[in-house]
Amino acid sequence: EEPHGAAPVDFLQELPSCQSARRRRGGTQERRPALRGTASSRGAAARELLPERGELPHRPAREHPDCMAEKRRMRNSQQAKTEQLSRWKKWKRASSKSLKKALSEVKGLSSYLVLWRHDIHSIEGKFGTGIQSYFSFLRFLVLLNFIIFILMFSFVTLPTIISKYGIFNSTIAYISPKNIEDICTIYEPNGNKGLVYFYTYLKDLLSGTGFLEVTSLFYGYYSIDAVWISIMRYNLPLAYLLATFAYLALSFLWIIKRSVEGFKHNLVHDADPFQSYCNKVFAGWDFCITDPHAARLKHRSLQYELQMDLQEEKLKQKIAERRMEEKLRIYSLRIFINIIVIAILSGCFYSIYRVTVFSQENSSVSIRNDTRTDLVNLLVQYLPSIVITLANFIGPLIFSFLIRFEDYTPAFEIKLTLLRCVFVRLANIGVLLFSLWSQISDCGSDKCKPCGYNYKLYPCWESDVGQEMYKLMIFDFIVILAVALFMDFPRKLLVTHCSCKLVQWFGHKEFEISDNVLEIIYGQTICWIGAFFSPLLPAIATIKYFIIFYIKKIVLIHTRKPAARPIRASSSNFFFLVVLLIGLLLAFIPLGVSIARIPSSKACGPFRNFNTSWEVIPDTILKFPTGLQQVLFGMASEAFAVPFFVILCIIMFYVIALARAHKRVVEQLREQLVLESRDKTFLIRKIAEAQ
């Protein structure tokens, strides 16, 4: 804590640690003409003292923090040195150099192929990296959905279409069903044959019934057991199931890879890296901002954020000093509010369940005569989507109102509200699916004795589930369009042109990143669940997100008011990917239940001849050679799984213990550094006194 002013400065310049830091910095002295004479000679002297000079790793010249002239000199001296090396080493260096050059050329060219590069760059310049991370996330989802679509299309849809039209000399093989009652195999979808009114097409387009039901959009189209392409046999059921697993695994791995990429920081330190003051101050300013207006907004938001954080710290101290009665009061209040939240959630879920049951029982597709009935019919079909969207809209409002009473710190308030909103959105989909299944497996009065599911109402239940997912997706898209057109733009016009006080107080709409992100993650979860029941759904999702990018960009540019609390790129990226991962893991559950538990429909689809969709795999394994079979069954048995689990636990404990030991060493070294620094200033003071 002794100020350096107490000790003469040139003493400190001569310390070996200072010299080595300066040597690492390289030509710093070239940029400081005042010290040029003394310092460079000192630097030269230091270089003679320190033996590491000769063993400096071959750092390319451009990684030296120097001006161009210095770097040129360094490169020439490096080249002079390589002349002395053996021929092998020379060739190695030259080839690695040319390889690096080729790679950078390829990288330069491939940067042109990146989608929306210019748009995202201009958004970054006007609004900073926080909002830019939202648009990069959208771009990632477009690409992900496109790849999933290519996967499903090439392995499932393409062979089916090829065989149905007989291209490449292909034929379809139908295996006659065994041990299945005939009554389960009756399935007559209305293909809208004959003369129909135009609005029937529109209605079918919106609800996935009628002519859409028999296209390759839905599961029912793929009622094929195998495809023969000249002499090769293509097992379509197996391909369907494996393509499903493949797209789930691909999404999982890609998300994990992205979250690790942008998140390289040390987990050894206890403090939260996103909330550290150093992060906010040293990395606070987005150097890519080009717009003066955006810069003003950024200044204000930085000031606001720093002040909020300082206040929050004081609040934390106050909380730590709370008395016992205070604590009891607050905890009981929190429990009470959580009970209210749970009650609201249960109300939501119950209403979704009832509405789904009502919609399934009362929507009938075959009535075409009366327009009015058709519209009402459409409304009834969309009722679950409407109720879910209402719940998704009202829930967050109630949560943000209630959390004020719970007396948390502002940062924790935001996190908890976000968590609750995420839960509401994702759980709503789960409840919808659960209510659908309860209908499908409704075995009340022996309705599903022959086939294992309610075959009268749902001869092809997978197509029905696919239709529900399709309706959810279309309705979600319509809602986003409608909100942008009918709420954001009129609001902006009103605020700009009408100067009455009430309207001005209402103000511009802020671009709330978290709400927008939850919206698109909700859509993505629907896509993941629905892609099994409707293989072309990812294509619709790709187009949907493509259009949403432009809508959101236009809304942002015209309403132009980023949120008051600044969003940081790294923490938002991490947040998006974590919530997306939660959505993916939640999507595994309904898919797992559909594939493994519920009997597949016997009237349509590639799994007609199996009890459940999963049965394809054990069936295929039984056709493998016995050796391989034994290995695979061995891997799935307890004799293998338990020791594997135990070994994993041991490795995990070892790694945790290692991390703890490292942490202790880091703490000790820090303490030592502090002591050394104190020793240093003490000794310097003594020397100065002695002089």
Partner 1 sequence: EEGSGAMGGSASLIPRDLLGEYQELTFLSKQEILLAYKRFSELLPKEERENACSARVPKSQILTLPELRANPFQHRICHVFSTSENRDDMSFEDFLDMLSVFSDSATSDIKSHYAFRIFDFDDDGTLDRKDLEQLVNCLTGQGEESQLSSAEMEQLIQNILEESDIDKDGTINLSEFQHVVSRSPDFASSFKIVL
CB of 146 to partner 1, least distance (A): 25
Options 14, 52, 181, 313; binder of partner 1; rule CB under 8 A: 313
In the chain, % helix, strand, coil (3-state, to 5) comes to 75, 0, 25
The answer to whether 284 contacts partner 1 (rule: CB under 8 A) is yes
Q: Which stretch binds partner 1 (CB under 8 A): 118-126, 203-211, 238-246, 470-478?
A: 118-126
Contact pattern for partner 1 over residues 624 through 663, marking x by CB under 8 A: ----------------------------------------
CA triple 135-152-134, angle to 5 deg: 10
Under DSSP, is residue 395 helix (H, G, I), strand (E, B) or coil? helix
The answer to whether 303 contacts partner 1 (rule: CB under 8 A) is yes
Mind spelling out the 3-state secondary structure of 583-611? HHHHHHHHHHHHHHCCCCCCCCCCCCCCC
The answer to whether 269 contacts partner 1 (rule: CB under 8 A) is yes
Give residues 218-257 in contact with partner 1 (rule: CB under 8 A).
none
Options 10, 63, 446, 689; binder of partner 1; rule CB under 8 A: 63
Size (the chain), residues: 691
Options 69, 158, 397, 419; binder of partner 1; rule CB under 8 A: 69
Instruction: Kindly state the tokens that stand for 517.
Output: 């992100």
- Among positive and negative, which fits the CA dihedral 290, 296, 300, 303? positive
Options 185, 192, 279, 454; binder of partner 1; rule CB under 8 A: 279
Q: Which stretch binds partner 1 (CB under 8 A): 369-377, 487-495, 650-658, 669-677?
A: 669-677
In angstroms, the CA 249 to CA 430 distance is 21
The answer to whether 283 contacts partner 1 (rule: CB under 8 A) is yes
Which lies closer to partner 1 via its Cβ, residue 3 or residue 51? 3
Which lies closer to partner 1 via its Cβ, residue 134 or residue 477? 134
Give residues 568-627 in contact with partner 1 (rule: CB under 8 A).
568-571, 574
The answer to whether 108 contacts partner 1 (rule: CB under 8 A) is yes
In angstroms, the CA 581 to CA 615 distance is 28
The answer to whether 306 contacts partner 1 (rule: CB under 8 A) is yes
Which lies closer to partner 1 via its Cβ, residue 295 or residue 584? 295
CB of 72 to partner 1, least distance (A): 7
Contact by Cβ (8 Å): 544, 469:
no
Lateral strand order in the sheet of 226-229? 170-173, 226-229, 232-234
CB of 110 to partner 1, least distance (A): 11
The answer to whether 177 contacts partner 1 (rule: CB under 8 A) is no
Give residues 29-48 in contact with partner 1 (rule: CB under 8 A).
30-33
Q: How far apart are the first and last CA of the chain?
A: 22
Which lies closer to partner 1 via its Cβ, residue 120 or residue 465? 120
Give residues 185-224 in contact with partner 1 (rule: CB under 8 A).
none
Helix runs in 270-291, H state only: 277-282
Which lies closer to partner 1 via its Cβ, residue 62 or residue 456? 62
Mention every residue, 6+ apart, whose C-beta is less than 8 A from residue 191.
210, 211, 213, 214
Residues forming a β-bridge with 171 = 228
Options 339, 648, 655, 673; binder of partner 1; rule CB under 8 A: 673
The answer to whether 674 contacts partner 1 (rule: CB under 8 A) is yes
Q: How many residues bind partner 1 (CB under 8 A)?
A: 78
The answer to whether 550 contacts partner 1 (rule: CB under 8 A) is no
CB of 97 to partner 1, least distance (A): 8
Element (H, E) at 172: strand 170-173
Residues forming a β-bridge with 281 = none
The answer to whether 19 contacts partner 1 (rule: CB under 8 A) is no
In angstroms, the CA 32 to CA 39 distance is 10
User: b vs e for 121-147, b when ≥16 Cβ sit within 10 Å of the residue's Cβ?
Assistant: eebbebbbbbbbbbbbbbbbbbebbbb
Under DSSP, is residue 633 helix (H, G, I), strand (E, B) or coil? helix
Give residues 70-99 in contact with partner 1 (rule: CB under 8 A).
71-72, 75
CB of 562 to partner 1, least distance (A): 15
Options 225, 291, 312, 515; binder of partner 1; rule CB under 8 A: 291
In angstroms, the CA 384 to CA 526 distance is 14
The answer to whether 68 contacts partner 1 (rule: CB under 8 A) is yes
